[in-house]
Amino acid sequence: MTRRSGILLHPTSLPGAHGSGDLGEHAYHFVDWLVSAKQTIWQLLPLGGVGPGHSPYMSDSAFAGNPMLIDLVELHRNGWLDAQDLEPHEGFSRSRVLHEIVTPWRMQRLVKAASRFFARRPAVSALSDEFAEFRHRQHRWLDDYALFKAIGDEYPLQDWTHWPRPLASRDPQALGEARRALQERLDFWRFVQWCFSRQWSALHRYAKSKDIRVIGDIPIFVAPHSADVWSNQRLFQLDERGLPEAIAGVPPDAFTPKGQRWGNPLYRWEIHEQEGFSWWVERVRHALAQFDEIRIDHFRGFVAYWRLPREATEAIEGEWVVAPGEALFETLRRALGPLPVIAEDLGLITPDVVKLRRRLGMPGMVVLQFAWDGDPTNAYLPHNHERDSVVYSGTHDNDTVQGWWQDLNEPTRRAVQHYFGDERGDGASLLRAAQASVADTAILTLQDALGLGAGSRMNTPGITEGCWSWRFDWSQVGPEPAQRLATWARLYDRLPRVRRCTQPERP
């Protein structure tokens, strides 16, 4: 690996007129901004639909894209929306994604676009053929996803475990009847995923043309109300009603002193092994087709996971259970070749987790905000970093550096100042330290690159309200952040090596 640097920003945080960032013009402009800042990485959060609390880590599919990321302007260019459909809702915010307003507003326009596409389909043979080819290529997950969403439309606000029993248990006759009765909704949800896929592919090609590598994110677990669990019930620890026998979480760690009760169903790893980990092979294959590299969330859960009783109210009530991490990743390697994976190895990391990560040749993560416990051997302190690492000032689960600095107690603040020999007291030393680190890869959140405070935090673990909604505006950027990042890239040998002279593909 060469030394490199980049920015962590989820597309929903981009500017735009339609209530949420999306895959439209501002995403392309952000790629151009990365180039101007001499960066080579754009890291994302999971691109799937959001779940409870609007979290992208609780998506209703491990394969489908978030419909809210679809660029409505491109649908208008195709003639599927009218100009007035693009007029913003008066309740939209430039600084927050107001999901309760944005989601129904955007869904109405997707329904209209789909209706026009299917009505005009015979006259647009090229796009019609492209849609048919997408359906054929993605049918392994798309058909069950579309059926899951279509049935869910019939039973809104209900988990699939509360659907009529024949549908919940996937009785073949009941599913056949549902497919016939809900054909129009099935087509709609396939259309939505086709729009997402073609727009994401175009944006990814543009990033590649600018030599920007995109790092995607795979959550280890999937949401209980998801097409994955409903269509693969044998692969999860479920009871006869489809409810989780036990749930995922983590014990107390640096993020949350009381631990976290996530609520995801756990895998029946013995069934996965018997089936050659085929579901995981397809999941990672799909991700590698979307991204240049992937970060796998909660890597330690592949060595041992924290199993909580379903009725547990506190995360401390769980226990560690061994998982077949090495067998899984060796199977993935045999099926897919070398894995360009970053292992999210934060939290309670035991020697066996480190051993497996190193044996697999995967870089781990170090977060500078976690370095200040007074122990000079703390792995997150800059003098203990290793080359085979990705260093962050903070992640999407941390406060911004400025917010973190304001909340520090005085002894820790003095320790940070003493370590860096910096008496200014604004916490910005962490940003420079990340760039100067021996770690091959350095990534800052956009909030930190722009010097924003606590009000710009993306997520607070354990909090279900008010997260995952932050947005920025180009008026907050100015020339200084890109100039500063470019200076650091030159100073600390993180400049792009050779830019390809390719014609950018931009809508």
- At residue 318, φ and ψ (nearest 5 deg) are -85, -175
- Partners of 428 in the beta sheet? none
Burial (CB count <10 Å: 0-12, 13-18, 19+), residue 454: middle
Other C-beta atoms closer than 10 Å to the C-beta of 380 total 21
Give every CB contact of residue 311 below 8 A, 6+ residues apart in sequence.
Answer: none
Catalytic residues: 297, 344, 397
Burial string for 12-51 (b: 16+ CB within 10 Å, else e) reads bbbbbebbbbbbbbbbbebbebbbebbbbbbbbbbbbbbb
Length of the chain, in residues: 507
Q: Is the Cα torsion angle 41, 42, 43, 48 positive or negative in sign?
A: negative
Residue of 494, 479, 407 lying closest to 444 (CA atoms): 494
Is the separation of the CB atoms in 444 and 431 below 8 Å? yes
| C-alpha–C-alpha distance, residues 187 and 208, integer Å | 31
Query: What CA–CA distance (Å, rounded) separates 221 from 215?
Result: 19
Phi, psi (deg, nearest 5) at residue 261:
-105, 95
